Structure 1
Amino acid sequence: MKTPSTTSARLAGRIKHLTGSVARDILSRTQDKEIISFAGGLPDATLWQDLKLPEVPPAAYQYGPSEGEHSLRSILAERNNSLGLPATPENTLITSGSQQGIDLAAKLLLEPGTPLILEAPSYLAAIQVFSLFEAELHTLAVDTDGICPQALDRLLTETQAPAVYLNPTFQNPSGKCYSLERRQQIAAVLDQHGTLLMEDDPYRDIYYDEAPPAPIASFLKSAPWIYFASVSKTLIPGLRLGSLTCSPELYDDLLKLKQASDLHSNRPAQFIAASMLADEAERAERIEGLCQHYRQKRDSMQQALAQHFTDLATWEIPSGGMFFWLDLEQSIDLYAALEKTLEKGVAFMPGSPFFTEKCDQGCSIRINFSLVSPKSMDKGIKILSDAVRDLQQASTCVESIA
């Protein structure tokens, strides 16, 4: 009988930079359990419990164009045009979620050691992609209005980074929304340096006060750009459909990368999305209902935090998106806190995975409010605050003894 080989496969060198997603790991641990989860960025499933999907024509069952269905690309291009972007179906590419768009852009732009500028904190899955392609990551802190244009100018001069990745509208994870003036100033800096902008914009339609300012890309005069969007947050996340629109000179290469990646995105899903988005009035009504639904949840979360976290952390009330970002007054081991809360049926996201290794990561928590029912929200926040308070008190006792 032949002995099985014990020789290890020789893997690509970049695999040593491959990291897992803490958020996905938490979801895996809690998927089949009764749990109050503030951890993921999941839309509320009650929004589509009684939804009847449009019929899919048999033509959708065949292989299709790599760039995506023209009907869907036309709808999304028209929407992007309304935001001030020079979008057409010919520079719009359908992707398998906006995450694939980030991956394609990384393949297009990054080599080992390529400097890349992003926010601190930043979107966890984008950090995963950029790290895998061995970019040299440089970060800028996000204040109430966004990253500082002067700091961006200095960092671009210092690093000569060819690209910047920003999530300026109800940012994941911080929930912040860049001001109009800050967007215009950042665009001017990018134009001055000729730096490509990757703008990630999946939460734009989910706002609770006034509509957010136009994308940064809409203010660019000469710098190249790639704009990522998604239908996951406003239609059905399981469709896994996103899009990218870009400077025309980038499109052909991104399309070829898409072909090499998966040939084309799910065609039945594209037909469903196009049908659901075709009627503008119907779409606007659905978005308004969705925003009203999530606004109530945001307000319930704010009430729970005000009751249980006022002495433990500071935060801003998000004007859109799905997240609160809490800065704790005292540092603790948040992974120990997570184990404590999971034992009691509550999950949350520690803030450290949203920073690169070189960043000052502070002690922060991201809390999602879109998934949990208002009834369970107060209970879950109370359990979380108790765990944080216990660990802070234990830490204080240890310091006193020392």
Structure 2
Amino acid sequence: MTNTATSTPELFEPVALGPLTLPHRLVMAPLTRNRATPEGVPTPLMATYYAQRASAALIIAEASTPNPVGQTYPNITAIHSPAQVEGWRLVTDAVRAEGGRMFLQIQHGGRVGHPDTSGLTPVAPSPIALPETIHTPAGRRPSVVPREMTAEDIRTTVADFAAAARNARDAGFEGVEVHSANGHLLHQFLAQGTNRRTDAYGGPVANRIRFVVEVAEAVAAEIGAERVGLRISPRVTVNSLHEGDTEEIYPALVAALAERGLAYLHVTYADPEDPVFRRIRQDWPGTLVANPVLPKDHIPRDGGLAHGERLLAAGADVIALGRPFLANPDLIRRMRTGAPVNQVRDAYLMYVGGAKGYTDYPALPAGV
């Protein structure tokens, strides 16, 4: 089913997304910021950060792990313990008080993890190590060979995602985004380079999409399909991920999920000229969120407005922006008025903890 709009929607027009009516079409993309406690509990500083950005049409909160073995890096958030749920409730309460709405991204790192961080050997579809070093509490370390997931591991992990979604609702989130992108566990199952299995979860595309479909279905059954989004990243090689047959993977995945009634499909690094993106738009019957490719060395003066408009013209319904929201707590106001945007001051500060480079980005003075 194609997007049947007769004209390109405007970025500041309302739009339906699952059970929500968003006031405009610019949402905050999930951004790992490493400001949680070592136990994965969100902090009051995080509540301040997100509340500052509540003018986003929707905040998709940073990746949170559904179980201990899914942890990627130090001080990332999780959503599998009561303390983590309580920490996230402080965040959602703060955002709601400012008029905002939040989904939570649920992410399992798979082979992107380390025993020095989680205390556990990472698990993955196949025992193929990440071919690069990884950040741990003791600094960068060589990656380890993950343990190949058994059939029982797969069943347990599917159940963990569903439980994490239930925890997210208990923590005050409107819904969740299942992370099947950027070289993490679900993406590892999709890709030939990381999935060498010979059972029902490996080999042909129909088998390699099975785990992603099972996770999405289990999460939808737990909290309602209309409160579940799925994030994908066709062609993206982050974390040394090599799909191999991108043109076959995503039409099959979209076909398997098209009639499930999910809130949205979220395409990262979206290129409106990419035939795979165009095929996804053609086949996906629901809301399509697109995350544009912005320059790596700076945020465009318009905050990404023109990039978003090009994706809307290509059929996207909602635009997700990351770094522009990171550096501009009042990004929507700046976009509406044409005011200049803040640049990311120091990329190092994105992941080191503390308020500097996190909650100290200035907003426009009142009346400007």
Q: TM-score, normalised by structure 2?
A: 0.33
TM score, norm. by length of structure 1: 0.30
- Structure number with greater Rg is 1
Using CA pairs under 8 Å that are at least 6 residues apart, name the structure with larger relative contact order, 1 or 2.
1
Structure with the higher helix share, 1 or 2: 1
